[in-house]
Amino acid sequence: MKSHKNAARLHAVETVGHFAKLDVKRHERTGIPEAVFAGGKSTAQVVAILERLAAASGQALATHVSEECAAAVRRKLGRRYTLDYNTLARTLVVRRRGFAVKHTGGKIALLAAGTADVRVAEEARVTAELMGCEVLRFYDVGIAGIHRLIEPLHQMHDADIACAVVCAGMEGALPAVVRGLLHVPVIGVPVSTGYGYGGRGEAALMTMLQSCAPGLTVVNIDNGFGAGATAALIANRMAAGVKRKT
């Protein structure tokens, strides 16, 4: 009976109006919190969903949030919740006042090939930090000046990271290079940065999918959230295993 009640609690659903059924225990059940994809939703829907998620879970994340939507959320919720809007990543984190993220001990590295790829990398960073990870950032270290990668590689080895997320547009070669030089899994994120044919991220995606460096996994174009969540899940499981052994 007790296990049945626990299972029911972890599958709890909260209904918001006629437009959303929130998986409020997803973080406890899967290790990754539910996130709100704001694109395609009205501002009123985004406000209502974020308010309910933050009330139930302590914090809530929305992605693809416009500045206008973020301003509207702040007007509605700013007095009762703390809000952190990342203009570059277009992410919005809403937290109950006094809520603190529990640091897991998980540690990942985050690389962006060029400055134009940072917007996607930042979405990954916000997600991983929301899940309690420490994130080491190395931006503008692409293969056009590959010597820029030498010092970050030393730092990543010394920090004993569990996983690396590498965001790259254009031909998308950086994730394979990094995977060939690191002892941890690498998650490649193709970014819609480039010229003409393939400039919407298709060329980077194809390059990463055809990589001959085993241990490189690839997410969809511009999917910083998916990469950050997966990297944090790996790092958090490793950190939990270390704690159990000690």
d(CA 130, CA 60): 9
pLDDT at 10: 62
Closest Cα to residue 165, out of 203, 127, 211, 210? 127
Whether residues 68 and 39 share a domain: the answer is yes
Q: Which parts of the chain register pLDDT below 70?
A: 1-11, 14, 246
Mark which of 96, 128, 143 sits at the end of a domain.
96
Determine contact, residues 185/178, Cβ cutoff 8 Å.
Answer: no
For 95, residues 6+ apart whose C-beta sits below 8 A from its C-beta are 54, 58, 59, 60, 81, 82, 83, 84
Q: Report the 10 Å Cβ neighbour count for 86.
A: 17
pLDDT at 23: 77
Whether residues 26 and 138 share a domain: the answer is no
Whether residues 128 and 222 share a domain: the answer is yes
Determine contact, residues 224/189, Cβ cutoff 8 Å.
Answer: yes
pLDDT at 159: 95
pLDDT at 2: 55
pLDDT at 59: 92
pLDDT at 50: 95
Mark which of 96, 123, 145 sits at the end of a domain.
96
In a domain, 218, yes or no: yes
In a domain, 160, yes or no: yes
Q: How many domains does the chain have?
A: 2
Determine contact, residues 228/123, Cβ cutoff 8 Å.
Answer: yes
Instruction: Write out the residue range of the structural domain in which residue 88 sits.
Output: 2-96
pLDDT at 31: 87
pLDDT at 18: 74
Convert the pLDDT of each residue in 120-160 to its tens digit: 999 999 999 999 999 999 999 999 999 999 999 999 999 99
